[in-house]
Structure 1
């Protein structure tokens, strides 16, 4: 095991064991390095790595703290990673989303409030008859984020947020708009919303499956369309 990896594992061990808790300040660098049997350089590298993935928060002039370890914080980088993948791998992320999002949407059917439903309705109405691809992508993100969060499972919500890479989502909506099929996708939003208003979990699950599968189908056929173009 590399020295930096060993340092990361030792700090992780302190957090997992409860020796360091969310919000705790780490001991001084010299003290922590001695306690863990590490060089100060390897400890410094480990702290830098753990700060990049939001486990630690380095505050200049104040010290280094364990973050809240909230799932939304820890999974925030996933969407950034998703956008770096090629179409074939991005399809795998979408396939995972197709497995999880319908279940999350069904969960929301019994928990989403009337106020949240009214807000979703208003956002769809606000798009008007000819929204831009950028507006469609932003509206799509907020629609699904609101529905999934209404289900009340923060881990599931954060994971799905991460699986929806913004660049991939933006590309799909630009493609749908260019092909004139964006309206169909918005109609699927309406169908999901209607099922949620009816508190029909299975209908909400089905429409969410159809909707995500449509994005998956578009991305799968993208290389062929590019070749024809």
Structure 2
């Protein structure tokens, strides 16, 4: 590793580079050395020599990469490769949605539309082959939802778990991460804007149960339709919040 770092420093010289360039070079170092999450990066001094930049440039670049979860700075211990999660994406989308000039409802509707397109494609894939054990697990989640709804409780975590489990058999590690991003954005925005309350929890439970029923019959079209109805309900809740927030609107 030391030889490669020296080669990098010699090749670049001491030319002044932007923070973005230094960040890119540190990312390339991680890739070149095949460092995995949790493994240590070279020290600040080693990075200065390797990249041919000042200590401040290294520190600023590392702070930027930390914000992206590409590195993790453990004060007193060093810098390590981060988990490279999609948390920064969720943070960025949440901020974008809340500060959207045309109103948060439009921005949130766009995010919901993307999520619906993703899930519609996924449900077509899983409907013919979803394992019985996954169907049984989905049944258990729906029963928990129903029990909470009848007790006057919310079931946000069960809802999240339902959609993650729904596509488990696809075997794509990125799918649950993307779904979590969309979920977190909707959850954060709904809490900030005050429309996290579901006016018809029993109806929401019913729509989830309809998805499982269609999947159990291996009916692709029925599964797609049930999923679409579920999203229409979410859209209705967002639109209702929009009308409520508009000045002079009748809130009946």
**2-side partners of 1:109 and 1:79: how far apart?**
28
* 1:30 CA drift (Å): 1.0
**1-side partners of 2:78 and 2:53: how far apart?**
19
1:157 to 176, 188, 213: 176
CA-to-aligned-CA distance 1:185-220 (integer Å, 9 cap, x gap) = 221101111122223333323322221232123313
2:41 to 26, 29, 34: 26
Corresponding residue SS for 1:220: helix
Q: How many residues align?
A: 219
1:97 and 2:105 are equivalent in the alignment: no
Who wins on radius of gyration, i.e. which is larger? 2
Structure 1 match to 2:76: 61
Corresponding residue SS for 2:72: strand
Closer, same or farther in 2 for the Cα pair 1:30/1:15, shift >3 Å? same
Larger mean Cα displacement after TM superposition, 91-100 or 121-130: 121-130
* 1:37 CA drift (Å): 2.0
1:118 to 111, 133, 136: 136
Structure 2 match to 1:228: 250
1:107 and 2:125 are equivalent in the alignment: yes
**1-side partners of 2:135 and 2:189: how far apart?**
26
Higher relative contact order (CA 8 A, sep 6+): 1
- TM-score, normalised on structure 2? 0.75
Mapping 1:58-207, distance limit 5 Å: 58-69=73-84, 74-84=85-95, 85=97, 86-126=104-144, 127-128=146-147, 130-132=150-152, 135-164=154-183, 165=185, 166-168=187-189, 173-174=196-197, 176-177=198-199, 181-207=200-226
**1-side partners of 2:141 and 2:115: how far apart?**
23
Q: What residue ranges of structure 1 are gaps of 5+ in the alignment?
A: none
**2-side partners of 1:202 and 1:120: how far apart?**
19
* 1:10 CA drift (Å): 1.4
> After the TM superposition, which segments of 4 or more aligned residues of structure 1 sit over 6 Å from their partners?
none
Corresponding residue SS for 1:228: coil
* 1:20 CA drift (Å): 4.2
**2-side partners of 1:102 and 1:200: how far apart?**
13
Task: Note if contact 1:26-1:65 (Cα within 8 Å) is conserved in structure 2.
Answer: yes
* 1:145 CA drift (Å): 1.6
